[in-house]
Amino acid sequence: MELKSYQQTPEKVATAVEGDLKVGLSVNEVKRRQVEYGENTLSEQKNTTLLQKFIGQFKDLMIIVLLVAALVAAFAGEGVDTLIILLVVVLNAIFGVFQEAKAEQAITALKTMSAPQAHVIRDGKTQTVPASELVVGDIVLLEAGDIVPADLRLTKSASLRIDEAMLTGESIPVEKDIEALTGEDLPLGDRTNLAFMNSNVTYGRGQGIVTGIGMATEVGQIATMLTQAKVNETPLQANLRHLGKTLTWLILLIAVIVFIVGMLNHQHTWIDMLLVAIALAVAAIPEGLPAIVTITLALGTTRMAKQHALIRKLPAVETLGATEIIGSDKTGTLTQNKMTVEKYFVTNEIFESETPLNTDAEVLADVMALNNDTKIIDGQLVGDPTETSLISFNQKHNRGLKELFNAQKRVAEIPFDSERKLMTTINQQTDGYVITVKGAPDQLLKRVSQILINGQVVALTDADKDNILAQNHLLATQALRVLAFAYRKSATIPTELTSAAVENELIFVGLVGMIDPERPEVKDAVAAAKAAGIKPLMITGDHRDTAAAIATRLGILTAADHDAVITGAELDQLDEAAFMQKVDQYVVYARVAPEHKVRIVKAWQAKGKVVAMTGDGVNDAPALKNADIGIAMGITGTEVSKGAADMVLADDNFATIISAVKEGRKVFANIQKAIQYLLSANLGEVLTLFIMTLMGWSILAPVHILWINLVTDTLPAIALGVEPAEKQVMQRQPRGRLANFLSNGVQGAILYQGLLEGLLTLGVYWIGITFPVHANDALAHADALTMAYVTLGLLQLVHAFSTKSVYQSVFTIGAFKNKFFNWSIVIAAVLLSATVFIPGLNGVFHVTPLDALQWGTIGVAAFLMIAVVEIVKFGQRRFGNKM
C-alpha cells in the first residue's frame, strides 16, 4: 500500500513530488507544471453564455403560450398584434438575462477580492506570488497571519499553530510538527504534519512542500461534492411555478369555452373566434409577471448590497422574508472576531480595561507587550488573536510601544507549549535583562515567589495565592479567557534556556481577562428578530460557558430559557425522535461539529419552518446547502462556503441579516402587490371579453388588450416593486412556508376588484352604445368600443394606487410618496391616451376621438373604482380584518 504524505518524512515527500527542500523549484519547472496541471484554484460550475441565458428565459409555460398566440396572430395576418406580443416576450427575456449576468459578476468580484498571496522559495530565493500560480513541489513559507495557499506537507515548524476550523470544525488552532505519523486514514484534525488550503496561520512560523493544488486539495474534494448537490426549489420559485401553471390551464380552458360558444352562436367566423380566444388568453396571462418579479428581486439585491448583503441567487431575496429560524455562528458574526482585553487584575483589585493605568498596571502592560509575537504591518496587528489583543490594550492606553521595543530588544525566548502552558521571553535592558512570562494562572503561580503591589515587590503569601485563584475563577465565570503575567530581573542571559532554569522565582504582576466581545449593533438586531417572530439560535464550536455568556449578553438567551444550552456531545446522545421533541427549547448549541448544523437545519425544516443558516468553513457548506437560506461570511468565509450560499455577508455581521430579512419581507409584499394588481386587472379584461362575446357585442381586439397590458401592467407593476415598506413590517409574524402570493386576503381582493373593473368597463360600453353620440351604427359601435378600451386601461391605472395595501386606505399610506410610481402612472396614461388623441395611431388601434361627455363617463367610472375599493377596505378594517 502506498504511504500517504503524512506517513512519510519530508525528504521522501519531496522526492515523490520531484521537489527540492532547500532551493525549491526553478522558474522554468514551475511554468512547465502550470501548463501541465493548471491553476491552483477551485473550479466553479460553468457560467452559461448570454445566448444560453436568453434562451432559458423562454422555458416558462406562460411565455410558451404567448409565443403560440404570436404564431396564430401572424397566421391570421395580424402583424401588429404579433409584433406587440413578441416585444413583450423579448423585453422580459432581456430583463432576466441582465440580472443573471449582474449576479454572476458580483460574486466573481467578491472572489477576486479574497484571493490570497503566497511566499515561496524558487531558485533559492524567497518570492511573493499569487496563490493561484502555485504548483505541486513548490516550497511555501508560512507565518502568523498567512492563509495556507495549498495543501502542504510541513517540513519546518517553529511553534506553528493553524486554525483549521473552516475544514475540521475545531475552534482551537492546531499545533503543528513535522514528524511522520503512523496510522491508517487519520482524521484531518489528527494530521498534525499537514497544512490545508484556506486554513489560517495564527501563531509561529513554518515551511511546507505543496502536495496538492486546486481541486486535488481537501477543500477541493468537498467542493466537488457540493457541485453535485441537488439545488432545492425556493418558496418563491414554487409559488410562481404553481401560480403560472394554474393560471395557464385555467386561461386555456376559458379561451376554449369562448371559442366554442362563439361558434355555436354563429356570430363570427372560426378565424375571428380564434383571434378572440387569443385576445382573451393574452388578456388573462400576466405576461409581464416574470419580468416584474425579476426586476423587483434585482432592485432588492441592489438595496441589500448597499447594506453589505450580497445576494447570489435572486429568489433568496424573497425567501429571506419568510425566515422563521436563524442559526448563527458566534465568532465574527455575533462577535467582533477580535479578542479584546475586557478586565485586568492588579494591586488586589479588578479594573475595567478602559480604567487609566496605575503604576502596577503600567508594569503589567509592559510585560504584555514584551511577551508577545504580534507584528505591526502597515498599522495592522498580525498574529495570534490573544496576543494582538494585548498589543491593542497597550495602544488604547497610548503606550509608547516603538520606544519600548527599541529599548528592550528580545534576545532569547522559550516558546509556548501545551504541556507547561507558558511562554517566556528575555529582553535586554540598560542594567541587564528582564525575563517575562505569561500563561495559565495555575501553572504560573507554581513558579512565583513574589508579588508586585503598589510599586513594591513583596513576598507572595498563601493568602495572596488564594486571592489570585479566586479572582481567576471570578473572571472565568464571566466567560473571559484569563492569562497571568510575571517577570524577574537577571544580570545575565541564562546559560540554559529551559523552563527549570528560567521560569522560577518570578514576580507576579497581574491577570488579564479577554473575550471576543459582541458586536454593539447585534443586541438590537436580536431584539428586532424576536419582535419579528424570528427565533435566533447560536451555533458555535466554542465552549459552553463562553457561548452562554455571549448569548445572554446579546439577549439570545434569557432567564426564562431553562435548559436552553446543549453541547454537540449531548446532541449526539439524542436520537431523532427525542431531538424533534426538544428542539424548540434549545437556543444555544456549543462545541458542535459542522455535521450538527445539518441536523439542526433538518430538524427545524421537518417542523415546517423556513431556516436560515450562517457559516464560513468548508464543512459548513452542506448546512448552507440544506438550509432554505445559506449565508456565508464575506471576510472570513472560504470560497466553498460562499459558493454554497444564497447570500454573502460582506461585513460578517448578524445585524446585516436582520436588515436583509426586512428587505425580504418588503420584496415579498411588493411582489404580492404587483400580483394583486396584475391579476385583478387581467380578471377585469377576461370578464369584459367573455361577457362581450356572450352578449354578441363588438369585442376589444388583441391589439387593444396587448397595448393596455404593455402600458398599464409594466411600469406601474414595476413601480409597486419599489414601494417603501409598510409600517410595522418587522412587528408581524413570519408568513411561514405555507403562505403564498394569494394569502392574507390578496385572493379575495383580486376577485372582487377584478369583477369591479370588468363590470365598470362593460357599463361604460353599454352607456356608449345605448346613448350614442353618432346616429351611424358603425360610428356608435366604434365610440363605445373606444370608451371601453380607455376605461379598462384607466381603471387599471387608478386601481394601482389601491393595491399599495390590501386593507389600508390609499389616503393614509402615502399615495404619492413613491415618485417612480407617480411618473409610471403619468407615462402610462400618456401612452394610453396617445392612441386616441394622435390621428396617425387611430387606424392602427381601431379607435375614434371622444367628446367631453364620453370622457366624463369614463372619469365617473374611475372615481367609482377608487370609491368602492375604499369602502370595502373601510369595512374590513372596521370589522377586524386588518393587516
CA angle 724/728/733 to nearest 5° reads 115
Answer yes or no: are the C-beta atoms of 271 and 618 closer than 8 Å.
no
DSSP code per residue over 148-176: P-SEEEEEEEEEEEEE-HHHH---SPEE-
- Burial label for 467, CB within 10 Å (0-12, 13-18, 19+), is middle
Q: β-strand 325-328 against 535-539: which pairing, if any?
A: parallel
Q: Residues, the chain, total?
A: 883
The residue written with cell numbers 408581524 in the block is 732
How far CA 723 is from CA of 143, 300, 711, 718, in Å, comes to 51, 11, 19, 9
Residues 6 or more apart in contact with residue 184 via CB below 8 angstroms: none
Answer yes or no: are the C-beta atoms of 317 and 301 closer than 8 Å.
yes
- Burial label for 777, CB within 10 Å (0-12, 13-18, 19+), is exposed
Residues 6 or more apart in contact with residue 657 via CB below 8 angstroms: 309, 326, 328, 525, 612, 614, 631, 649
Specify the 3-state DSSP secondary structure of 453: strand
Answer yes or no: are the C-beta atoms of 732 and 882 closer than 8 Å.
no
Cα gap 121→126, rounded to integer Å: 5
- Residue 512, beta-bridge partner list: 344, 483
Answer yes or no: are the C-beta atoms of 514 and 480 closer than 8 Å.
yes
- 373 given a catalytic annotation: no
Instruction: Give 855's Cβ-side CA count (13 Å radius).
Output: 8
Per annotation, catalytic residue among 81, 151, 329, 783: 329
How far CA 3 is from CA of 148, 183, 220, 848, in Å, comes to 23, 10, 21, 89
CA angle 13/18/22 to nearest 5° reads 80
Q: Can you read off the three cell numbers belonging to residue 535?
A: 427565533
Cα gap 95→159, rounded to integer Å: 56
Tell me the residue type at 559.
A
Cα gap 721→827, rounded to integer Å: 17
Phi/psi at 20 (nearest 5 deg)? Answer: -130, 115
Residue 713 DSSP symbol:
I
Cite the active site residues: 329
